[in-house]
Structure 1
Amino acid sequence: MSTTPTTGQVIEYAAEFAGKTALVTGAASGIGLATARRLGRGGAAVVIADYNEQGAKEAAETLKGEGIEAAAVALDVTQPASVEAAVQFAVDIFGGLDLAVNNAGIGGPSTPTGEYDIDAYNRVIRTNLDGVFYSMRYELPVIEAAGRGGAIVNVASILGSVGFAGSPAYVAAKHGVVGLTKTAAAEYAAKGIRVNAVGPGFIETPLLKEMDKAAYDGLVGLHPAGRLGLSEEVAELIAFLLSDRASFVAGSYHLVDGAYTAV
């Protein structure tokens, strides 16, 4: 049982993920942690994977305290061997893998394309795009081998569909994530594995709260809804896409952005 992020209305979560294992990358905080919690409340055993190993362990302990079956693993999505090990960890600890949420990512500096630091560009691409590829590269064969189908959600961004001045690497990576998602979906739909992407708008985080008020208000003003999104709101969309309620949804890119991209 939980409440909606904005109204406090009580929701009874059915055990729609009971008996399933979910791997969530970048799950020590933010959207990743909110998603892990939502899946766990739906009955899934959850692997909290994050570059911040201590943060992942603390998040897993928190979820366990809420009655959720959870385990933590260190993960560097820029290293294929690390990704492979995290997927194997899920299999070793919980007996398999059914669901995955590829959420790990970084923002990078804000600099015009003609002045963008090459090393910074490569870091963003390695994390936000290559990391999603590596994740699916090792998740898909394990899900397929189990023979019971499954689902993957890749966390892109509103910037997977529009541009944003000063963020060439991030925008390029997130557009790439949408393309990877569609390609994998076409390849694996007949095998009972659905792959989709979500595109969050700007989401409320402690870091944003520390911004200059004018800059923060400027971000809010980009969203016709008149506010930033909440991690829990993104988690609800992800949970739907992973659930059997979305059984014919594959290869799609779903925005959760307070109408940011509508204007």
Structure 2
Amino acid sequence: MSKNEAITYSGKTALISGAAGGIGFALAKEFGELGMNVVIADIDEAALENAKQQLELLNINVLACQLDVTEYAQWQACIEQTIATFGKLHMVVNNAGVGGVPGKIEQTDHDIWRWVIDVNLMGVLYGTQAATPEIKRHGEGGWIINVASMAGMMGVPYASSYSATKAAVVSMTESWSVELKPHNIHVAALCPAFVKTRIHESLRNKQDKYKSAKELKEFTPEEKERYKKSFGQAAAFVESGIPADLLAKRVVEALDSGQQYIFTHPNYKEATDYRAALISKAFNDAEQSNLVKHLIGDDMVSL
């Protein structure tokens, strides 16, 4: 959607993953109150039904769809239900995500990493791949909103799996934004800092296929203490975050002005400015290099 066009949400349909609570539910509520049909999808069936009832009390047209975002066939089934119920799909919000387990690199659990990658990265790919043909089909344009994080703009110590996947989401968003622009599909990366959600409790919904990873109860006393401290710190940060309802309103505000990156915490600009300065310094170094400075002035590959 062009930032020069008036944005109309009413009567259109949004599919939101991880929508039984937190950011996903807040976005469903916000878009529903703007007149959109909302499809809420989540792996937690009980929480999903509760969310559906809450939205119905607000007179929002809602469809609930149980969804494990790591299963492409379930994405396809959910979109089929969406089309059967509302006729068209205009927006997909790839919100479902997990925080992983904080820790040092030498304490990395490979199964936890695979879980985080499959949910946070592959889940976004699957959602976009499954939804894009339906958004293209009606020719009215639409939106793909990928929930990344400030961790995708700046690595976070002891949270490398989370940071890596969120950086990938930002990069995928940048790629798809160029690819889908001719189809009037606006692709944006939502990059919040701390928001009051249950991201620090992600292990509660870890799928059975990832249960080969150590569970908390199997840890040694030393590991238990370390993880208890790590999760306790994460919980404190999350609880200090902004309300999810405020974030949802900020998303609409940013979509209305055509933003590709949606930031909710302007106080983090200094961190991204520092990163940009390091990148600029590194390019300056390359320009002075006798090995590669002859490339100055060469045309870049067209994007």
Q: TM-score, normalised by structure 1?
A: 0.83
Task: Tell me which protein shows more helix as a share of its residues.
Answer: 2
Structure 2 equivalent of residue 9 of structure 1: none
Residues 22 and 99, structure 1, Cα contact 8 Å, conserved in 2: yes
Runs of 4 or more, structure 1, over 6 Å off, are 206-209
Note if 1:119 corresponds to 2:111: yes
**SS at 1:56's partner residue?**
helix
Kept in 2: contact 1:201–1:258 (CA 8 A): no
Report whether the alignment pairs 1:253 with 2:261.
yes
The aligned amino acid for 1:67 is N
Aligned residues: 238
User: What is the CA RMSD across the aligned residues, in angstroms?
Assistant: 2.5
Aligned 1:79-158 pairs, distance under 5 A: 79-158=71-150
**How much has 1:217 moved relative to structure 2?**
9.6
Which residue does the alignment assign to 1:49?
41
Find the residue that maps to 2:41 and give its secondary structure. Answer: strand
1:26 is the counterpart of 2:18: yes
Match of 1:239 among 239, 252, 267: 252
Inter-CA distance 206–124: structure 2 relative to 1 (3 Å threshold)? closer
Q: For residue 10 of structure 1, what is the aligned residue in structure 2? A: none
Q: Distance in 1 between matches of 2:234 and 2:99?
A: 16
Return closer, same or farther for 1:49/1:208 CA change in 2, 3 Å cut-off.
Answer: closer
SS in structure 2 of the partner of residue 154 of structure 1: strand
Q: Deviation string for 1:22-41 (max 9, x for gaps)?
A: 10110000000000000000
| TM-score, normalised by the number of residues in structure 2 | 0.73
| Equivalent residues of 2:16, 2:93 under 8 A apart | yes
Percent identical: 34
Task: Return the alpha-carbon distance in structure 1 between the equivalents of residues 175 and 125 of structure 2.
Answer: 11
Shift of 1:133: 0.5
Q: Distance in 1 between matches of 2:269 and 2:254?
A: 20
Work out whether 1:219 is the aligned partner of 2:250.
no
3-state SS in 2 of match to 1:33: helix
* Aligned residue identity for 1:262: E
Equivalent in 160, 170, 175 of residue 152 of structure 2: 160
Instruction: Give the C-alpha shift of residue 148 in structure 1.
Output: 0.7
**Is the Cα–Cα contact under 8 Å of residues 78 and 131 in structure 1 kept in the other structure?**
yes
- Asked if 2 retains the 8 angstrom alpha-carbon contact of 1:61 and 1:70, the reply is no
Residues 190-227 of structure 1 deviation map (CA, whole Å, 9 limit, x = unaligned)? 11111001111111236879x98x9479738xxxxxx5
Which residue identity is paired with 1:256?
A: T
Q: Is the 8 A contact 1:158 1:261 kept in 2?
A: no
Aligned amino acid, residue 237 of structure 2: L
Please give the secondary structure, in 1, of the residue aligned with 2:103.
coil
**Higher mean C-alpha deviation, range 19-28 or range 84-93:** 84-93
Distance of 2:73 and 2:13 partners within structure 1: 21
